[in-house]
Amino acid sequence: MCGHLSYGLCVSPPPSAPGGDDLPYEVQRAQEINRIFGPKGSPEAYDVVFDLHNTTSNMGCTLILESSTDHFNLQMMNYIKKAIAPASCLVLLNEHPLLKYSTSRSVAKHPVGLEVGPQPQGVLRSNIFEAMRVLLKHALDFIELFNEGMEFPPCTVEVFRVLERVDYPRDANGNIIAMVHPNLQDCDWEPLNPGDPMFQTFDGKTIRYQGSGTVYPTFINEAAYYEKQQAFVTTGREALVASAIGKV
């Protein structure tokens, strides 16, 4: 790991429900997290929060960015990508005003999502565990270098910007009537062109992508998103420029 960087494992007790006993457990927990690592938007908030996630989608190693103007995060992600090369690590930017959601990590000044897949829910795969460990190691190395005074010159970072959510085809009762097409399954980050197969009905018919241009789908067939009406999201490729950063 990163030498003399010290960090503590923070395990907080369940909240004593100052927000009210009738709030859902996760809402109580969000308030607790905001008390410990925030308050969100204030000067006391934590500098960085790393939020570790897995996905059933074939996304490989992905870093999730919430703001295209967070130069610190952009520099960190650039560092991580270069550190693990030639292995791939892509950056997903979710700045979409409607599709953006309030993550637990957003209480920090610099929220960083680590998303590694494919891994089924409830399963621990050693290769996925190892990939996540390596990503986090490089992230913490970056912070240590920054704190020691290293300056990072301007750089360009390729990101995939979330464009829209695509749901499964459903019947009048809301039941899913088709699956991700075998040609699209596992093809996260690969170009999807108008006319390409997208879904396959349960009796074998192909439904094709009707968009106006090429997109790069990701989060393809994530188990947790069936209930959120999402079969995949489309993204567009963009190059973001990060300003030079250094410790003041």
Partner 1 sequence: MEVEQVVCLPRLSRVAVCGGTHGNELSGVYLVRELQKEVMEKEEEEEEEEEEHPSVSMVLSNPRAVQQCRRYVDTDLNRCFTRADLNGPASGPLPYEMIRSRELNAKLGPKGRSGAVDLVCDLHNTTANMGLCLIAQMPDIPMRFIHFELSNKESYSLDSVGKHGFAMEIGPQPHGVVRSNVYTAMKAGVQHMLDWVCFFNSGTLFEGESVDVFTMIKHIDYPRDIGTRNITAAVHPHLQDRDFCLLRPEDPLFQTFSGETLRYEGNEPLYPFFINEGAYYEKGIALSLARKRRVMIPAIRVQTEQERQAHVRESASEEEDGL
Residues catalogued as catalytic: 115
- Evaluated on CA atoms 63, 68, 71, 72, the torsion sign reads negative
- Residue of the chain from 181, 187, 189, 232 that contacts partner 1 (CB under 8 A): 181
Nearer to partner 1, 180 or 233 (CB): 180
Q: Which stretch binds partner 1 (CB under 8 A): 27-35, 76-84, 93-101, 181-189?
A: 181-189
Q: How many CB atoms lie within 10 A of CB 170?
A: 12
Question: Which residues ranging from 37 to 56 are in contact with partner 1 (CB under 8 A)?
Answer: 56
Tokens matching residue 113: 């999502």
Name the CA radius of gyration of the chain, rounded: 20
Instruction: Return the axis-axis angle of helices 71-84 and 126-147, rounded to nearest 10°.
Output: 130
147 forms part of the interface with partner 1 (CB under 8 A): no
C-alpha distances in angstroms, 64 versus 74, 91, 209, 236? 10, 6, 25, 14
- Residue of the chain from 38, 60, 113, 118 that contacts partner 1 (CB under 8 A): 118
173 forms part of the interface with partner 1 (CB under 8 A): no
Question: Which residues ranging from 213 to 242 are in contact with partner 1 (CB under 8 A)?
Answer: 221-224, 226-227
- Residue of the chain from 200, 218, 230, 235 that contacts partner 1 (CB under 8 A): 200
Q: What are the two backbone dihedrals, phi and then psi, of residue 61, each rounded to the nearest 5 degrees?
A: -90, 120
Nearer to partner 1, 188 or 222 (CB): 222
Tokens matching residue 125: 């795969």
For residue 194, the minimal CB distance to partner 1 (Å) is: 21
246 forms part of the interface with partner 1 (CB under 8 A): no
182 forms part of the interface with partner 1 (CB under 8 A): yes
Nearer to partner 1, 1 or 36 (CB): 1
176 forms part of the interface with partner 1 (CB under 8 A): yes
Asked if residues 21 and 13 have their Cβ atoms less than 8 Å apart, the reply is no
Q: What is the DSSP string of 156-210?
A: EEEEEEEEEEEPPPB-TTS-B-EEE-TTTTT-TTS-B-TTSEEEEETTS-EEE--
**Which residues in this chain contact partner 1 in the complex, by CB under 8 A?**
56, 118-127, 129-130, 175-176, 179-182, 185, 200, 202-204, 221-224, 226-227
